[in-house]
């Protein structure tokens, strides 16, 4: 087992202490100009590895239509090329006719890839799940929550014989925090319990929810999540990290005090929704780094990187 010691304060990127994630020099790696169709923004992608490539499912927001899911592919994880057509989206669930879909998170379990996403209609938003084996055809699994739940991230393996996911029910003031739910079949979900709440006065004091799909380490489940700090004039979306127990993810081993990425570049502070960095997948690459893909200001896509060890240390900082 790797031992993580209490790290010393570090200063990175222009004096921002504890900002562990390093922005890639190519940022933003995708903008609306890279969209294969007219778009006002491209953001909040899910990303995974498939057949030696990086496969990205991005939100494309058009001026006249709801959000489309579009697949982009890359050999190096930085330069992405779009497919010729949008995703072959499966037939809608007759119990919940989708008006808008957004924020996909991709989890590989054995040889199948599952997309958990936000599915919205006039009654509210629910967690939807579809699956694929080849990123060409997709099959609907379920509408997998009641209304007013989203930010669902499926764990990459069963826990105590059950599928598990992080999610965020947000009735009322939305400050209920991040929750854990279990399922025998990906359709029926229960045994829900709160993992942790918002922290008043902290960077995640107003709202928070799952970000990247959890990463298995010998220390526990490493989770990059998003939190919101709000005042009377604005909200700021930031990223942080926590470490959850491998056998009982409701048990928090460590939770970082400080954000690991804060919107401060112009493409993060100014856009369709200003002051936002928001992630859905963090993908280990072949160079020993973790690629954290994130939406910037709900307008474009950025890439930031850190090592597993750096992210684990940030959980204790």
Task: Compute the average pLDDT of residues 25-46.
Answer: 97
In a domain, 118, yes or no: yes
Tokens 């369709």 locate to: 272
User: Quick check: is 1 in a domain?
Assistant: no
Q: Do residues 156 and 109 touch, judged by C-beta distance below 8 A?
A: yes
Query: What pLDDT score does 95 carry?
Result: 79
pLDDT in tens, 6-28: 333 333 444 455 799 999 999 99
Q: Which of 274, 234, 272 is nearest to 60 (CA)?
A: 272
| Alpha carbons 102 and 59: distance in angstroms, whole number | 6
Position 15 scores a pLDDT of 43
**What is the pLDDT of the chain when averaged over all its residues?**
92
The confidence score (pLDDT) of residue 10 equals 38
Helix, strand counts (H, E) of the chain:
2, 23
Residue 6 lies in a domain: no
Residue 205 lies in a domain: yes
Chain segment 206-229, per-residue pLDDT in tens: 999 999 999 999 999 999 999 999
Mean pLDDT of 295-317: 97
Confirm whether 32 is domain-assigned: yes
- pLDDT score, position 91: 84
Q: 117 forms bridges with which residues in the sheet?
A: 128
Count CB neighbours of 191 within 10 A: 12
Q: Taking a C-beta distance cutoff of 8 angstroms, is the pair 73, 60 a contact? A: no
- What tens digit of pLDDT does each residue of 148-204 get? 999 999 999 999 999 999 999 987 555 679 999 999 999 999 999 999 999 999 999
Q: Is residue 4 part of a domain?
A: no
CATH number of the domain within which 256 lies: 2.115.10.20
Please say whether the beta carbons of 142 and 186 come within 8 A.
yes
Task: Report whether pLDDT(133) > 60.
Answer: yes
Q: What percent of the chain has pLDDT over 70?
A: 93
**What's the pLDDT at 173?**
59
Nearest Cα residue to 238 out of 317, 296, 303: 296
pLDDT tens digits, 40-70:
999 999 999 999 999 999 999 998 878 899 9
**Phi and psi, residue 312, nearest 5°:** -65, -45
Residue 3 lies in a domain: no
217 is in which domain, residue-wise? 11-315
Most confident range, picked from 122-126, 232-236, 268-272: 268-272
Domain count, the chain: 1
Whether residue 297 is predicted with pLDDT greater than 80 in this model: the reply is: yes
Assess contact for 72 and 30: CB atoms under 8 A.
yes
Structural domain includes residue 47: yes
């Amino acid at each position: 087992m790797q031992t993580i010691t209490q790290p010393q304060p570090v200063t990175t990127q222009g004096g921002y202490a504890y900002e562990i994630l390093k922005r890639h020099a190519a940022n933003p790696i995708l903008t609306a100009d890279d969209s294969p169709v007219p778009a006002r923004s491209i953001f909040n992608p899910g990303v995974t590895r498939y057949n030696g490539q990086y496969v990205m499912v991005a939100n494309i927001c058009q001026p006249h239509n709801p959000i489309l899911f579009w697949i982009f592919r890359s050999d190096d994880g930085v330069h992405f090329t779009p497919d010729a057509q949008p995703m072959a989206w499966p037939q809608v669930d007759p119990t919940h006719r989708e008006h808008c879909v957004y924020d996909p998170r991709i989890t590989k379990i054995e040889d199948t890839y599952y997309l958990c996403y936000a599915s919205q209609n006039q009654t509210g938003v629910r967690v939807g799940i579809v699956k694929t084996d080849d990123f060409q055809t997709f099959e609907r699994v379920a509408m997998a929550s009641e209304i007013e739940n989203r930010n669902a991230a499926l764990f990459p393996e069963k826990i105590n014989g059950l599928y598990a996911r992080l999610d965020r029910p947000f009735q009322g003031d939305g400050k209920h925090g991040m929750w854990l739910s279990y399922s025998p079949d990906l359709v029926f979900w229960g045994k829900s319990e709160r993992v942790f709440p918002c922290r008043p006065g902290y960077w995640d004091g107003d709202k928070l929810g799952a970000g990247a799909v959890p990463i298995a380490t010998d220390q526990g489940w490493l989770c990059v999540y998003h939190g919101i700090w709000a005042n009377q004039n604005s909200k700021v979306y930031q990223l942080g990290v926590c470490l959850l127990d491998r056998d009982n993810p409701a048990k928090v081993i460590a939770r970082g005090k400080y954000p690991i990425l804060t919107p401060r570049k112009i493409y993060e502070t100014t856009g369709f929704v200003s002051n936002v960095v928001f992630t859905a997948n963090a993908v280990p690459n072949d160079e020993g780094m973790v690629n954290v893909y994130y939406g910037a200001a709900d307008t474009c896509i950025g890439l930031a990187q850190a090592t597993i060890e750096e992210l684990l240390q940030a959980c204790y900082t």
